[in-house]
A and B are shown apart, each in its own frame.
Chain A
Amino acid sequence: MNFELFLSTLPIMAKGLAGIFLVTLVIILCITLLNKLTSGKEDK
Protein backbone atom coordinates (compact mmCIF):
# COMPACT_ATOMS: atom_id res chain seq x y z
CA MET A 1 0.00 0.00 0.00
CA ASN A 2 1.37 3.39 -1.00
CA PHE A 3 -0.90 5.99 0.55
CA GLU A 4 1.41 8.88 -0.30
CA LEU A 5 1.41 8.05 -4.02
CA PHE A 6 -2.37 7.57 -3.87
CA LEU A 7 -2.82 11.09 -2.47
CA SER A 8 -0.53 12.52 -5.14
CA THR A 9 -2.77 11.05 -7.88
CA LEU A 10 -5.96 12.74 -6.64
CA PRO A 11 -5.15 16.17 -8.12
CA ILE A 12 -4.22 14.38 -11.37
CA MET A 13 -7.68 12.78 -11.41
CA ALA A 14 -9.25 16.24 -11.18
CA LYS A 15 -6.90 17.76 -13.76
CA GLY A 16 -7.30 14.83 -16.16
CA LEU A 17 -11.09 14.88 -16.11
CA ALA A 18 -11.15 18.69 -16.36
CA GLY A 19 -8.77 18.44 -19.33
CA ILE A 20 -10.92 15.88 -21.13
CA PHE A 21 -14.07 17.96 -20.61
CA LEU A 22 -12.30 21.09 -21.81
CA VAL A 23 -11.06 19.44 -25.03
CA THR A 24 -14.50 17.89 -25.50
CA LEU A 25 -16.18 21.28 -25.18
CA VAL A 26 -13.81 22.73 -27.79
CA ILE A 27 -14.64 19.86 -30.16
CA ILE A 28 -18.38 20.32 -29.54
CA LEU A 29 -18.00 24.00 -30.34
CA CYS A 30 -16.14 23.19 -33.56
CA ILE A 31 -18.76 20.63 -34.64
CA THR A 32 -21.55 23.11 -33.96
CA LEU A 33 -19.72 25.74 -35.99
CA LEU A 34 -19.04 23.28 -38.82
CA ASN A 35 -22.70 22.24 -38.88
CA LYS A 36 -23.85 25.87 -39.00
CA LEU A 37 -21.34 26.93 -41.64
CA THR A 38 -21.86 23.98 -43.95
CA SER A 39 -25.60 23.38 -43.69
CA GLY A 40 -26.33 26.67 -45.49
CA LYS A 41 -24.01 25.72 -48.34
CA GLU A 42 -25.68 22.36 -48.76
CA ASP A 43 -29.16 23.96 -48.78
CA LYS A 44 -28.12 26.18 -51.71
Chain B
Amino acid sequence: MGAIFSNVLNLQWQQVVMWIIGAILIYLAIKKNMEPTLLLPMGFGAILVNLPMSGAITQIYDGVKEIGVIDLLFDSGIANELFPLLLFIGIGAMIDFGPLLSNPKLMLFGAAAQFGIFFTLSLAALAGFDIKDAASIAIIGAADGPTSIFVANYFQSNYLGAIIVAAYSYMALVPIVQPPVIKLITTKKERMIRMNYTGTKVSKTTRILFPVVVTIIAGIVSPRSVALVGFLMFGNLIRECGVLGSLSETAQNVLANLITLLLGITVAARMTAEAFLNIHTLMILGLGLVAFIFDTVGGVLFAKLLNLFSKNKVNPMIGAAGISAFPMSARVVHKMGLAEDDQNFLLMHAVGANVSGQIASVIAGGMILTFFG
Protein backbone atom coordinates (compact mmCIF):
# COMPACT_ATOMS: atom_id res chain seq x y z
CA MET B 1 0.00 0.00 0.00
CA GLY B 2 2.85 2.33 0.92
CA ALA B 3 4.47 1.81 -2.48
CA ILE B 4 1.35 3.12 -4.26
CA PHE B 5 1.57 6.48 -2.55
CA SER B 6 5.38 6.69 -2.33
CA ASN B 7 5.39 9.15 -5.24
CA VAL B 8 3.78 11.75 -2.94
CA LEU B 9 7.20 12.14 -1.36
CA ASN B 10 8.54 13.35 -4.73
CA LEU B 11 6.10 16.27 -4.74
CA GLN B 12 7.74 19.70 -4.45
CA TRP B 13 6.04 22.92 -3.38
CA GLN B 14 6.99 24.53 -6.71
CA GLN B 15 4.89 21.93 -8.48
CA VAL B 16 1.91 22.81 -6.30
CA VAL B 17 2.38 26.47 -7.28
CA MET B 18 2.25 25.37 -10.93
CA TRP B 19 -1.01 23.49 -10.22
CA ILE B 20 -2.42 26.77 -8.89
CA ILE B 21 -1.20 28.62 -12.01
CA GLY B 22 -2.78 25.88 -14.14
CA ALA B 23 -6.03 26.20 -12.21
CA ILE B 24 -6.00 29.99 -12.71
CA LEU B 25 -5.57 29.53 -16.48
CA ILE B 26 -8.47 27.04 -16.54
CA TYR B 27 -10.58 29.46 -14.47
CA LEU B 28 -9.83 32.37 -16.83
CA ALA B 29 -10.69 30.20 -19.83
CA ILE B 30 -14.01 28.95 -18.42
CA LYS B 31 -15.30 31.79 -16.24
CA LYS B 32 -13.88 34.78 -18.11
CA ASN B 33 -13.92 33.22 -21.59
CA MET B 34 -10.31 34.37 -22.13
CA GLU B 35 -8.85 32.58 -25.18
CA PRO B 36 -10.42 29.30 -23.95
CA THR B 37 -9.14 27.13 -26.80
CA LEU B 38 -5.60 27.93 -25.69
CA LEU B 39 -5.67 28.76 -22.00
CA LEU B 40 -7.74 25.71 -21.05
CA PRO B 41 -5.31 23.12 -22.51
CA MET B 42 -2.36 25.19 -21.27
CA GLY B 43 -3.76 25.21 -17.75
CA PHE B 44 -4.47 21.51 -17.82
CA GLY B 45 -1.05 20.83 -19.33
CA ALA B 46 0.61 22.88 -16.59
CA ILE B 47 -0.94 20.54 -14.02
CA LEU B 48 -0.17 17.42 -16.08
CA VAL B 49 3.56 18.07 -16.45
CA ASN B 50 3.98 19.16 -12.83
CA LEU B 51 2.82 15.94 -11.24
CA PRO B 52 5.77 14.29 -9.51
CA MET B 53 7.64 12.06 -11.98
CA SER B 54 4.99 12.84 -14.60
CA GLY B 55 5.15 10.37 -17.46
CA ALA B 56 3.67 13.02 -19.77
CA ILE B 57 7.15 14.52 -20.09
CA THR B 58 10.42 12.72 -20.63
CA GLN B 59 11.70 11.09 -17.43
CA ILE B 60 14.39 8.66 -16.45
CA TYR B 61 12.95 5.60 -14.71
CA ASP B 62 15.45 3.10 -13.29
CA GLY B 63 18.20 4.58 -15.47
CA VAL B 64 16.14 4.25 -18.66
CA LYS B 65 14.96 7.35 -20.52
CA GLU B 66 11.26 7.25 -21.37
CA ILE B 67 10.01 9.86 -23.82
CA GLY B 68 6.86 11.63 -22.62
CA VAL B 69 4.04 12.38 -25.02
CA ILE B 70 4.11 16.14 -24.34
CA ASP B 71 7.79 16.30 -25.21
CA LEU B 72 7.11 14.17 -28.28
CA LEU B 73 4.38 16.61 -29.36
CA PHE B 74 6.71 19.52 -28.65
CA ASP B 75 9.47 18.09 -30.83
CA SER B 76 7.13 17.20 -33.65
CA GLY B 77 4.83 20.24 -33.52
CA ILE B 78 6.56 23.25 -32.02
CA ALA B 79 10.31 22.65 -32.24
CA ASN B 80 9.95 22.44 -36.02
CA GLU B 81 7.41 25.33 -36.10
CA LEU B 82 4.71 23.11 -37.63
CA PHE B 83 1.80 23.98 -35.28
CA PRO B 84 2.08 27.80 -35.50
CA LEU B 85 2.28 27.57 -39.29
CA LEU B 86 -0.74 25.27 -39.55
CA LEU B 87 -2.61 27.62 -37.24
CA PHE B 88 -1.82 30.46 -39.61
CA ILE B 89 -3.72 28.68 -42.39
CA GLY B 90 -6.82 28.84 -40.18
CA ILE B 91 -6.22 32.47 -39.21
CA GLY B 92 -5.67 33.43 -42.85
CA ALA B 93 -8.96 31.77 -43.76
CA MET B 94 -10.74 33.75 -41.01
CA ILE B 95 -9.59 37.19 -42.16
CA ASP B 96 -11.52 39.32 -44.60
CA PHE B 97 -8.98 41.77 -46.02
CA GLY B 98 -11.79 43.65 -47.82
CA PRO B 99 -11.76 46.79 -45.61
CA LEU B 100 -8.00 47.02 -46.06
CA LEU B 101 -8.12 46.47 -49.82
CA SER B 102 -10.72 49.19 -50.23
CA ASN B 103 -8.58 51.63 -48.22
CA PRO B 104 -4.95 50.46 -48.42
CA LYS B 105 -3.62 53.52 -46.57
CA LEU B 106 -4.88 51.90 -43.37
CA MET B 107 -1.88 49.60 -43.62
CA LEU B 108 0.30 52.42 -42.32
CA PHE B 109 -1.36 52.08 -38.92
CA GLY B 110 -0.52 48.40 -38.85
CA ALA B 111 3.13 49.32 -39.41
CA ALA B 112 3.16 52.07 -36.77
CA ALA B 113 1.57 49.85 -34.15
CA GLN B 114 4.58 47.52 -34.21
CA PHE B 115 6.57 50.15 -32.32
CA GLY B 116 6.05 48.26 -29.06
CA ILE B 117 8.06 45.31 -30.41
CA PHE B 118 11.19 47.36 -30.95
CA PHE B 119 10.74 49.44 -27.80
CA THR B 120 10.44 46.23 -25.77
CA LEU B 121 13.48 44.75 -27.51
CA SER B 122 15.57 47.64 -26.18
CA LEU B 123 13.99 47.44 -22.75
CA ALA B 124 14.52 43.67 -22.48
CA ALA B 125 18.15 44.14 -23.53
CA LEU B 126 18.52 46.82 -20.85
CA ALA B 127 16.96 44.45 -18.31
CA GLY B 128 19.78 41.99 -18.93
CA PHE B 129 18.28 39.41 -21.28
CA ASP B 130 20.62 38.25 -24.05
CA ILE B 131 19.75 39.61 -27.46
CA LYS B 132 17.96 36.49 -28.75
CA ASP B 133 15.83 36.19 -25.63
CA ALA B 134 15.17 39.94 -25.78
CA ALA B 135 14.01 39.53 -29.39
CA SER B 136 11.80 36.59 -28.42
CA ILE B 137 10.24 38.59 -25.57
CA ALA B 138 9.81 41.68 -27.76
CA ILE B 139 7.75 39.73 -30.28
CA ILE B 140 4.99 39.43 -27.64
CA GLY B 141 4.23 42.92 -29.00
CA ALA B 142 3.27 41.32 -32.31
CA ALA B 143 0.00 40.58 -30.45
CA ASP B 144 -0.12 37.43 -32.47
CA GLY B 145 0.35 34.05 -30.78
CA PRO B 146 1.70 31.98 -33.68
CA THR B 147 4.31 34.63 -34.58
CA SER B 148 5.44 34.77 -30.94
CA ILE B 149 5.76 30.99 -30.82
CA PHE B 150 7.54 30.86 -34.19
CA VAL B 151 10.12 33.51 -33.31
CA ALA B 152 10.73 32.42 -29.70
CA ASN B 153 11.15 28.84 -30.81
CA TYR B 154 13.39 29.83 -33.73
CA PHE B 155 15.74 31.49 -31.24
CA GLN B 156 15.38 28.48 -28.91
CA SER B 157 14.43 30.82 -26.09
CA ASN B 158 14.41 29.33 -22.62
CA TYR B 159 11.34 31.40 -21.85
CA LEU B 160 8.94 29.97 -24.43
CA GLY B 161 6.28 29.06 -21.83
CA ALA B 162 6.25 32.51 -20.23
CA ILE B 163 6.29 34.26 -23.61
CA ILE B 164 3.25 32.34 -24.82
CA VAL B 165 1.34 32.85 -21.58
CA ALA B 166 2.06 36.59 -21.81
CA ALA B 167 1.23 36.85 -25.53
CA TYR B 168 -2.14 35.13 -25.29
CA SER B 169 -3.10 36.69 -21.95
CA TYR B 170 -2.55 40.24 -23.16
CA MET B 171 -4.37 39.50 -26.42
CA ALA B 172 -7.37 38.51 -24.33
CA LEU B 173 -6.84 41.58 -22.13
CA VAL B 174 -6.80 44.09 -25.01
CA PRO B 175 -10.20 45.54 -23.93
CA ILE B 176 -8.65 46.31 -20.55
CA VAL B 177 -5.15 47.37 -21.64
CA GLN B 178 -5.89 49.63 -24.61
CA PRO B 179 -8.69 52.05 -23.52
CA PRO B 180 -6.78 53.81 -20.69
CA VAL B 181 -3.70 54.18 -22.91
CA ILE B 182 -5.78 55.62 -25.77
CA LYS B 183 -7.57 58.02 -23.43
CA LEU B 184 -4.29 59.17 -21.94
CA ILE B 185 -2.82 60.28 -25.27
CA THR B 186 -5.91 61.60 -27.08
CA THR B 187 -8.31 64.44 -26.38
CA LYS B 188 -12.09 64.01 -26.33
CA LYS B 189 -12.23 66.16 -29.47
CA GLU B 190 -9.85 63.81 -31.26
CA ARG B 191 -11.81 60.76 -30.16
CA MET B 192 -14.94 62.35 -31.62
CA ILE B 193 -13.49 62.78 -35.11
CA ARG B 194 -15.86 61.17 -37.59
CA MET B 195 -14.58 59.27 -40.57
CA ASN B 196 -16.64 58.60 -43.67
CA TYR B 197 -16.61 55.07 -44.97
CA THR B 198 -16.93 54.98 -48.73
CA GLY B 199 -16.62 51.19 -48.98
CA THR B 200 -15.04 51.08 -52.43
CA LYS B 201 -15.84 47.81 -54.14
CA VAL B 202 -12.96 45.37 -54.30
CA SER B 203 -12.81 43.03 -57.28
CA LYS B 204 -12.58 39.29 -56.83
CA THR B 205 -9.34 39.28 -58.84
CA THR B 206 -7.75 41.69 -56.35
CA ARG B 207 -8.90 39.56 -53.43
CA ILE B 208 -7.33 36.48 -55.05
CA LEU B 209 -4.11 38.16 -56.15
CA PHE B 210 -3.55 39.98 -52.86
CA PRO B 211 -2.35 36.96 -50.82
CA VAL B 212 -0.08 35.86 -53.67
CA VAL B 213 1.45 39.33 -54.07
CA VAL B 214 2.01 39.79 -50.31
CA THR B 215 3.71 36.38 -50.12
CA ILE B 216 6.04 37.29 -52.98
CA ILE B 217 6.95 40.67 -51.44
CA ALA B 218 7.51 39.18 -47.99
CA GLY B 219 9.52 36.32 -49.49
CA ILE B 220 11.81 38.71 -51.31
CA VAL B 221 12.29 41.02 -48.32
CA SER B 222 12.62 38.40 -45.61
CA PRO B 223 13.04 34.90 -47.07
CA ARG B 224 13.70 33.37 -43.65
CA SER B 225 10.22 34.19 -42.43
CA VAL B 226 8.34 33.64 -45.68
CA ALA B 227 6.66 30.51 -44.26
CA LEU B 228 4.86 32.71 -41.69
CA VAL B 229 3.40 35.09 -44.25
CA GLY B 230 3.02 32.31 -46.78
CA PHE B 231 0.83 30.09 -44.60
CA LEU B 232 -1.27 33.08 -43.48
CA MET B 233 -1.81 34.10 -47.08
CA PHE B 234 -2.41 30.52 -48.20
CA GLY B 235 -5.27 30.35 -45.71
CA ASN B 236 -6.63 33.60 -47.11
CA LEU B 237 -6.34 32.32 -50.68
CA ILE B 238 -8.41 29.26 -49.69
CA ARG B 239 -11.04 31.70 -48.38
CA GLU B 240 -11.05 34.01 -51.38
CA CYS B 241 -10.66 31.59 -54.28
CA GLY B 242 -14.35 30.77 -54.15
CA VAL B 243 -13.99 27.09 -55.03
CA LEU B 244 -12.89 25.69 -51.65
CA GLY B 245 -15.80 26.82 -49.49
CA SER B 246 -15.97 23.76 -47.26
CA LEU B 247 -12.17 23.63 -46.87
CA SER B 248 -12.19 27.30 -45.92
CA GLU B 249 -14.85 26.59 -43.28
CA THR B 250 -12.82 23.64 -41.98
CA ALA B 251 -9.62 25.70 -41.83
CA GLN B 252 -11.38 28.54 -39.96
CA ASN B 253 -13.03 26.30 -37.42
CA VAL B 254 -11.92 22.69 -37.05
CA LEU B 255 -8.28 23.06 -38.11
CA ALA B 256 -7.69 26.28 -36.16
CA ASN B 257 -9.37 24.97 -33.01
CA LEU B 258 -7.66 21.60 -33.13
CA ILE B 259 -4.20 23.05 -33.68
CA THR B 260 -4.74 25.65 -30.94
CA LEU B 261 -5.79 22.87 -28.59
CA LEU B 262 -2.67 20.82 -29.36
CA LEU B 263 -0.52 23.94 -29.20
CA GLY B 264 -1.89 24.76 -25.77
CA ILE B 265 -1.22 21.41 -24.20
CA THR B 266 2.13 21.07 -25.95
CA VAL B 267 3.39 24.42 -24.67
CA ALA B 268 3.04 22.89 -21.22
CA ALA B 269 6.32 21.08 -22.00
CA ARG B 270 7.96 24.41 -21.15
CA MET B 271 5.83 25.02 -18.07
CA THR B 272 7.55 22.72 -15.64
CA ALA B 273 8.13 24.35 -12.25
CA GLU B 274 11.89 24.62 -12.71
CA ALA B 275 11.54 26.31 -16.12
CA PHE B 276 8.62 28.60 -15.24
CA LEU B 277 8.92 29.68 -11.62
CA ASN B 278 11.59 32.32 -11.68
CA ILE B 279 11.95 36.07 -11.66
CA HIS B 280 12.34 36.06 -15.47
CA THR B 281 8.72 34.96 -15.91
CA LEU B 282 7.51 37.99 -13.94
CA MET B 283 9.84 40.24 -15.95
CA ILE B 284 8.50 38.78 -19.21
CA LEU B 285 4.88 39.38 -18.12
CA GLY B 286 5.83 43.00 -17.36
CA LEU B 287 7.69 43.46 -20.64
CA GLY B 288 4.75 41.94 -22.55
CA LEU B 289 2.46 44.56 -21.06
CA VAL B 290 4.94 47.29 -22.04
CA ALA B 291 4.96 45.91 -25.60
CA PHE B 292 1.16 46.12 -25.89
CA ILE B 293 1.07 49.62 -24.38
CA PHE B 294 3.73 50.98 -26.73
CA ASP B 295 2.15 49.30 -29.75
CA THR B 296 -0.97 51.28 -28.93
CA VAL B 297 1.01 54.48 -28.33
CA GLY B 298 2.87 54.02 -31.64
CA GLY B 299 -0.33 53.59 -33.64
CA VAL B 300 -2.19 56.49 -32.02
CA LEU B 301 0.72 58.94 -32.21
CA PHE B 302 1.29 58.05 -35.86
CA ALA B 303 -2.36 58.85 -36.62
CA LYS B 304 -1.96 62.17 -34.82
CA LEU B 305 1.15 62.87 -36.87
CA LEU B 306 -0.73 62.16 -40.10
CA ASN B 307 -3.45 64.58 -39.00
CA LEU B 308 -0.89 67.39 -38.92
CA PHE B 309 -0.44 67.06 -42.69
CA SER B 310 -3.78 65.76 -43.90
CA LYS B 311 -6.98 67.58 -44.79
CA ASN B 312 -9.21 64.60 -44.03
CA LYS B 313 -8.58 64.02 -40.36
CA VAL B 314 -8.23 60.49 -39.06
CA ASN B 315 -9.64 59.52 -35.70
CA PRO B 316 -6.36 58.73 -33.90
CA MET B 317 -7.97 55.78 -32.10
CA ILE B 318 -7.82 53.95 -35.45
CA GLY B 319 -4.05 53.81 -34.96
CA ALA B 320 -4.55 51.71 -31.84
CA ALA B 321 -6.39 49.10 -33.90
CA GLY B 322 -3.16 48.60 -35.86
CA ILE B 323 -2.01 46.01 -33.34
CA SER B 324 -2.62 42.53 -34.51
CA ALA B 325 -4.98 41.34 -31.76
CA PHE B 326 -7.81 40.57 -34.15
CA PRO B 327 -10.69 41.37 -33.85
CA MET B 328 -10.62 42.58 -30.23
CA SER B 329 -8.68 45.72 -30.95
CA ALA B 330 -11.05 46.85 -33.73
CA ARG B 331 -14.01 46.26 -31.41
CA VAL B 332 -12.37 48.28 -28.63
CA VAL B 333 -11.84 51.26 -30.93
CA HIS B 334 -15.35 51.01 -32.35
CA LYS B 335 -16.87 50.94 -28.86
CA MET B 336 -14.74 53.85 -27.68
CA GLY B 337 -15.84 55.86 -30.72
CA LEU B 338 -19.50 55.17 -29.94
CA ALA B 339 -18.97 56.06 -26.28
CA GLU B 340 -17.86 59.56 -27.31
CA ASP B 341 -20.43 60.04 -30.06
CA ASP B 342 -23.21 57.51 -30.64
CA GLN B 343 -23.25 58.29 -34.37
CA ASN B 344 -19.52 57.74 -34.89
CA PHE B 345 -19.11 54.36 -36.59
CA LEU B 346 -15.42 53.53 -36.78
CA LEU B 347 -15.73 49.76 -37.14
CA MET B 348 -14.79 49.32 -40.81
CA HIS B 349 -11.78 51.63 -40.53
CA ALA B 350 -10.71 49.89 -37.34
CA VAL B 351 -11.08 46.44 -38.91
CA GLY B 352 -8.97 47.61 -41.88
CA ALA B 353 -6.22 48.79 -39.52
CA ASN B 354 -6.58 45.63 -37.44
CA VAL B 355 -6.08 43.20 -40.35
CA SER B 356 -3.15 45.37 -41.48
CA GLY B 357 -1.68 44.76 -38.06
CA GLN B 358 -1.88 41.03 -38.72
CA ILE B 359 0.29 41.41 -41.82
CA ALA B 360 2.61 44.00 -40.24
CA SER B 361 3.18 41.85 -37.16
CA VAL B 362 4.29 38.95 -39.34
CA ILE B 363 6.59 41.29 -41.28
CA ALA B 364 7.96 42.54 -37.94
CA GLY B 365 8.59 38.92 -36.92
CA GLY B 366 10.46 38.47 -40.20
CA MET B 367 12.54 41.60 -39.52
CA ILE B 368 13.47 40.30 -36.08
CA LEU B 369 14.50 36.93 -37.58
CA THR B 370 16.55 38.71 -40.25
CA PHE B 371 18.33 40.91 -37.69
CA PHE B 372 19.16 38.21 -35.15
CA GLY B 373 18.70 34.87 -36.92
The residues of A with any CB-CB pair to B shorter than 8 Å are 1-3, 5-6, 8-10, 12-13, 15-17, 19-21, 23-24, 26-28, 30-32, 34-35, 38-39, 41-42
Q: Is the CB of B105 within 8 A of A9?
A: no
- Please give 15 more A-B residue pairs, beta carbons under 8 A apart, in addition to A19-B367, A20-B111, A41-B205: A2-B128, A6-B122, A6-B123, A10-B122, A12-B118, A13-B121, A15-B371, A16-B114, A20-B363, A23-B218, A24-B363, A27-B107, A27-B214, A34-B209, A42-B201
Answer yes or no: B7 CB below 8 A from chain A CBs.
no
Q: Which residue of A lies closest to B117 (CB)?
A: A16
Interface status of B339 (Cβ within 8 A of chain A):
no
Tell me if B234 is interfacial: C-beta within 8 Å of chain A: no
CB pair B101–A35 under 8 Å, yes or no, is yes
Q: How far apart are A26's CB and chain B's nearest CB, in angstroms?
A: 6
SS of B interface (majority): helix
B351 at the interface (CB under 8 A from A): no
Q: Complex: how many Å from CA A27 to CA B12?
A: 53
Residues in B with CB closer than 8 Å to A9 are: 118, 121-122, 125, 131, 134
Q: Are A13 and B114 in contact (CB under 8 A)?
A: no
Do B203 and A16 touch across chains, with their CB atoms under 8 A apart?
no
Contact B217 A23 (CB under 8 A): yes
B135 to chain A, nearest CB (A): 9
* Interface pair A31/B364, CB less than 8 Å apart: no
